[in-house]
Amino acid sequence: MQQTLKKWDRQPYMTVGLVIINFLVFGLMTINGGSENTQTLLQYGAVFKPLVVQNGEWWRLITGMFIHIGLTHIVMNMVTLYFVGIQIENLFGHFKFLVIYFIAGIFGNVVSLVLGNPLALSAGASGAIFGLFGVWLMLGESFHDNPYIKAYARQLGLFVVLALASSLMESGIDIYAHIGGILAGFLAGYLVGVPKIGKVEIPKRIVATVVLIVLFAVTFGTLITK
């Protein structure tokens, strides 16, 4: 029984669960108006600034992370989430992985609302996924003596730069959510720590936590008063 529990604990069930939930929501949207239909997107919780700020529908900052616009959107995001997510979940553990994922996703949505088009409708797990990229950058900074982490962090760093550059050249991509997600994921990695790899210096964890709290306070404050 104990061996079975240990084997189950090593499985990336949080990542798999997130992927399944996203596809289930996509399926429901597809049969109830279509995932590219504006009314359906709003009905299922897409992020729309007037509804979030003026109507107080703050829950959309979370539900928007589980909604995708079109088949290509969800397939690309879920493939990325699976392969990057299982690595982060394995290194940080199930609960910490989930904490990082939601912090990055929510902050990405808030940054998008503050800096993006106020009348644009946004949806997708991209902010949270870019947060996982941010975690790898944090690992590369904290554990640069580990050759595997250093090499992988460099590769993902290059990918992030190319992805952000591509976002600038393509319409319909929420670059603000991506930037917010990366930043929040980077800081959240310090916040939760990763004992499986090694200790993160206490001053770094304190600074990262304070900066993350300040960023949330400033962006939420700006969103409410803007």
Q: Please state whether the predicted TM-score (pTM) of the whole model is above 0.85.
A: yes
pLDDT by 10s per residue, the chain, length 226: 455 545 556 789 999 999 999 999 999 999 999 999 999 999 999 999 999 999 999 999 999 999 999 999 999 999 999 999 999 999 999 999 999 999 999 999 999 999 988 888 999 999 999 999 999 999 999 998 888 888 888 888 888 888 888 777 776 788 899 999 999 999 999 999 998 899 999 999 999 999 999 999 999 999 988 6
pLDDT value of position 154: 87
Paired sense of beta strands 121-122 and 47-48, if any: antiparallel
| 178 flagged as catalytic | yes
Contact criterion met (CB below 8 Å) for 185 and 104: yes
pLDDT value of position 152: 84
Cα dihedral 169, 172, 173, 176 sign: positive
pLDDT value of position 1: 47
Q: Based on the structure, what is the number of domains in the chain?
A: 1
pLDDT value of position 192: 95
Marked catalytic residue, from 35, 112, 126, 142: 126
pLDDT value of position 10: 74
Q: Determine the Cα–Cα distance for residues 132 and 184; give it in Å rounded to an integer.
A: 9
Contact criterion met (CB below 8 Å) for 85 and 97: yes
Contact criterion met (CB below 8 Å) for 104 and 134: yes
pLDDT value of position 155: 86
Backbone angles phi, psi at 223, to 5 degrees: -65, -40
Contact criterion met (CB below 8 Å) for 174 and 124: yes
Query: Which stretches of the chain are assigned E, i.e. beta strand?
Result: 47-48, 121-122
- Domain with residue 41: its CATH number is 1.20.1540.10
Range of the domain at 84: 2-225
